[in-house]
Each structure stands twice: as C-alpha cells, then as structure tokens.
Structure 1
Amino acid sequence: ISKLPLDPWGRDYLYLVPGINNPEGFDIWTNGKDGLPGGTGVNRGCGNWDDLKCGLKKQNSPFKIVFLLLIIGFGVGIPPYIFGVYLAYKKVNSIKKSLFGYHLGVFCYLIVAVLLAAIVPSTL
C-alpha cells in the first residue's frame, strides 16, 4: 500500500509490521478521537485485532431513510385516500372528479406528517 487514508479524526493510522497482535501479518489501529491510547466511546481506539475491534456499523444514508419514510407515509396515506375516492365516486359518479378533493389533502398531509414526525425530533 503506497498511502493509507486518514482515520475518522484526520490523523494517520498507526501500523506495525510484523504485528504484535497479528504476528503473521500487521497491526493497524487508531487511538480514537482524543488521540490517546485507551478510552471509551469515541475516545476508544480501534484496530484489526480482537481486543480492539472497531465494531463500527455501516450507517444508512439520509436518502435511504427519507425514502423509507416516504414509503411509510404512502402506506399510511393510501387507505384513507382510496376510501375518500370511493365515497366521492359514489356521490358524483365520475372517477375524474373523485380523484381530487379533501381526501387528496389528507393523503398529502399524512405523508408529510410521517416525514416530520421522524425528522424533527432528531434535529432537536
């Protein structure tokens, strides 16, 4: 490897060849946010051996989360919308006229409400 990327805190990773923990290969680690060995939370270092495994999980992108919330909003909003279309159709006997009305507003409101219910508390 000609160049290693920086750790999440903008410092070089530390490495040792041959490794103490991986004598057949190499040790690579970072000391965490504070740059000191040991620590807990974000200050805990992590490396490529069992005692110091990073345990980082892949994070979902914001796009995936918003997409999921939109799908949930549609799932919540579609049944009342379809019921509203049905009631309007019974009243005016025209599918074109029955697609629009208060039930479309309720549908849009439910989609936005689900998005806001999930996004707003995370920003507070």
Structure 2
Amino acid sequence: MTDAAERPTPPEGLPPKLVTELRECAPAELRKAIVHAQELLHFHGEAELPIDPEDNDDILRVAEHDGYTEVVKQFRCADGCDDCPHGPYLYHVTEEPRPGGTTKVHWSFMGTVHEQEE
C-alpha cells in the first residue's frame, strides 16, 4: 500500500463523490474505469487528452485550448527530499506530427505557477 501523503491531488472540478469512489478502487478497477472513461469520451466525440503522467507526477489542472492542452502539475523526486512536492509548474502540451503519420506528445515548460495564478 502507498503512503497517503503521496496520494495524487484530483483535478479541479472532479466531483468529490467520484474522487472518493476512485480512491477506494483497486488498481484493476481503476484501469477498467480509465477504459470506460475513454469510451465515454469517444461516445461524446471528444479526443483523449495527450496527457500521460509519470508515476511521480501530480496533475493539478488540465484545460483544453485551441492547439494545445494547458497542464499544471507538481512532482515528487527521490525519497528523502525535504522540498517535495516541487511546483506547481505550467506546461503547454501539444501533439506534433511525425514522418509516417504518427504523432508525438511534446511538453513545453512555461514556468512556475504562483498561488494567485492557480
């Protein structure tokens, strides 16, 4: 089991009841919830976000804009770091076309988010 102090912060606007339900899910149930949420996005004609957080990322906010996705996140580094978590930091995430018709997700660091900006 993981330390509750390291539990990710839910994104803004996610209903508290849903947050509670998700926190009580086992990993297998969470994976199924992700699949179902992606299916619902497709049903509503929405594309999936290009966001794939690392294990040490804590996504605080995601906002869609024309041409990019705005992401505010903080992260945890090595065990024993007294300054963790680091951030929050603002990124603009884009999907860049690659030869062969594929795309690659590109994270552009925009800077530190100050409390009044959050």
Q: TM-score range by the shorter chain?
A: under 0.3
Greater relative CO (CA pairs within 8 A, separation 6+)? 2
Structure holding more strand per residue: 2
Structure holding more helix per residue: 1
Task: Give TM-score scaled by structure 1 length.
Answer: 0.22
Task: Give TM-score scaled by structure 2 length.
Answer: 0.23
